[in-house]
Amino acid sequence: MMSSRIALLNNDLTKRRLDGFIVTDPVNVKYLSGFMGHDSVILVTANKNYFFTDSRYVEEAKKGLKAFEVQLVNCSMAKSIAEAAADRKVKRLGFEAMNIPYAVAERLKSSFQNIELVPTTDVIGNLRAVKDRGEITRIKASIKLAKLVMKKVSRMIQPGLTETSIARAVEMEFINEGAKTAFDTIAASGPNSSMPHARAGSRKILANDFVMMDMGCVLDNYCSDITRMFTTGRSSNKYKKICEIVQDAHDIAIKKIKPGVSIADVDAAARDYIKSKGFGTAFGHSLGHGIGLEVHEEPTISGSSAGTLKTGFVFTVEPAIYLPGFGGVRIEDVVLVTDSGCEVLTR
Q: Provide the binding-site residues for Zn ion, judged by CB under 5 A.
A: 214, 225, 227, 316, 332
Supply the DSSP symbol for 185: P
We find the least distance from the C-beta atom of residue 330 to Zn ion, in angstroms, to be 8
**CA atoms of 139 and 312, how far apart (whole Å):** 12
Q: Find the farthest-apart pair of alpha carbons in the chain and give their distance in angstroms, rounded.
A: 72
Question: For residue 336, which phi and psi values (nearest 5 degrees)?
Answer: -115, 125
**CA atoms of 85 and 45, how far apart (whole Å):** 8
CB nearer Zn ion, residue 86 or residue 344: 344
We find the least distance from the C-beta atom of residue 278 to Zn ion, in angstroms, to be 25
CB nearer Zn ion, residue 123 or residue 314: 314
We find the least distance from the C-beta atom of residue 314 to Zn ion, in angstroms, to be 12
**CA atoms of 70 and 228, how far apart (whole Å):** 46
CB nearer Zn ion, residue 18 or residue 342: 342
We find the least distance from the C-beta atom of residue 221 to Zn ion, in angstroms, to be 18
Sign of CA dihedral 330, 334, 339, 340: negative
Of 122, 139, 143, 121, give the one whose Cα is nearest residue 131.
139
Burial category of 286 from C-beta neighbours within 10 Å (exposed 0-12, middle 13-18, buried 19 and up): middle
> Helices (H), strands (E): how many in the chain?
10, 19
CB nearer Zn ion, residue 298 or residue 332: 332
CB nearer Zn ion, residue 209 or residue 214: 214
We find the least distance from the C-beta atom of residue 335 to Zn ion, in angstroms, to be 12
CB nearer Zn ion, residue 85 or residue 226: 226
We find the least distance from the C-beta atom of residue 212 to Zn ion, in angstroms, to be 10
CB nearer Zn ion, residue 12 or residue 184: 184
| Residues 57, 37 contacting (CB under 8 angstroms) | yes
- Chain centroid, CA 292 distance in Å: 5
Please count the other Cβ atoms lying within 10 Å of the Cβ belonging to residue 160.
Answer: 10
We find the least distance from the C-beta atom of residue 291 to Zn ion, in angstroms, to be 7
Question: For residue 10, which phi and psi values (nearest 5 degrees)?
Answer: -60, -40
CB nearer Zn ion, residue 65 or residue 182: 182
We find the least distance from the C-beta atom of residue 214 to Zn ion, in angstroms, to be 4
Question: For residue 163, which phi and psi values (nearest 5 degrees)?
Answer: -60, -40
